[in-house]
Amino acid sequence: MTPAVQAAAATPRAHDRQVPPLGGFNLTALKLEVRRVLRNRRTVMFILVFPSVFFFMFGLSSKAQVKGGASAVAYVLISMAVYGAMVGTTAGGAAVAVERSLGWSRQLRLTPLRPSAYVAMKVLTAMTLGLIAIVVEFAVGAISGVHLAPHVWLLSGLAGWLGSFVFAAFGLFMGFLLPSENVMQFVGPLLAVLAMFGGLFIPLSALSPTMRTVAHFSPVWGVGVIARAPLVGGFSSGAILSIVAWTLVFGVGAMALFRRDTARV
């Protein structure tokens, strides 16, 4: 090997890339992700406007009492907050469909950004949107005259937010499954159907025994039960099992589709 060749081999090549800290994850990119999703008017309507409208339609018109003597208005408020959170987290995860349709995700895979950092930013974006949805819905309820004990506000909001993680995985799954920038137009109505038959729009007690059994297999059911537990009392280990099971199903599905997608580069 000649000295010139040895010198060339010893010189770092221009296309050798340094892996950034945390695989490329950074708060600036996360902030841009959240802002980009919130610029979508349809997403804002689904996350912030529709749950509030449903609360005024179903909640303020109901004066009945539910399990444990809790006000039906508060019951509906928590349910609508969960609905807003699940739509928000789904929208955050499904945003990958926009990048795939525009070819942006393919460009990102040519950078030092690690796939794990990319997915982590999508998940955190989804959870941020879910938190915004719950805070806004609870604020609407408080302004409308809903009175809850401080621990109920806190625990119900926290349970609904953490439970909505299953829909962050669902959003990623649908985002990798449907390469369309309008993925939420397909997923939005599906979420409404799931919410209806999962006990958010209609209390399970108002459904037939058969539909109540079907509702227990919905990914929405477990989140709603846990979020309303601080209000109505009681706790269901089956609800936790449902959330864990559906998170694994959607998470494994999203990772499989992600690997298939990245293999095309």
For the entire predicted model, the pTM comes to: 0.82
CA pair distance 265, 114, nearest whole angstrom: 14
Quickly state the pLDDT bin for 248 (edges 50, 70, 90).
very high
Q: What is the mean pLDDT of the chain?
A: 80
Question: 219 or 93, which is more confident?
Answer: 219
- Check if the beta carbon of residue 174 is closer than 8 Å to that of residue 168: no
| CA–CA dist 83, 3 (Å, integer) | 68
C-alpha of 3 from chain center: 58
CB within 8 Å of 203: residues ≥ 6 apart? 66, 75
Q: Is the pLDDT at 4 greater than 60, yes or no? A: no
- Of 47, 254, 243, 98, residue with least CA distance to 162: 243
Q: What is the pLDDT of residues 45-93, one digit of tens each?
A: 878 888 888 888 877 666 555 555 557 888 889 999 999 999 989 988 8
Return the minimum-mean-pLDDT range out of 72-76, 103-107, 186-190: 103-107
C-alpha distances (whole Å) from 145 to each of 138, 139, 140 are: 11, 10, 9
| Whether residue 196 has pLDDT greater than 60 | yes
For the ranges 11-20, 72-81, 119-128, 140-149, the lowest mean pLDDT is seen at 11-20
73, 59 in Cβ contact below 8 A? yes
Beta bridge partners of 71: 65
Query: What is the band of 112 on the pLDDT scale with cuts at 50, 70, 90?
Result: low
Domain ranges of the chain: 23-262
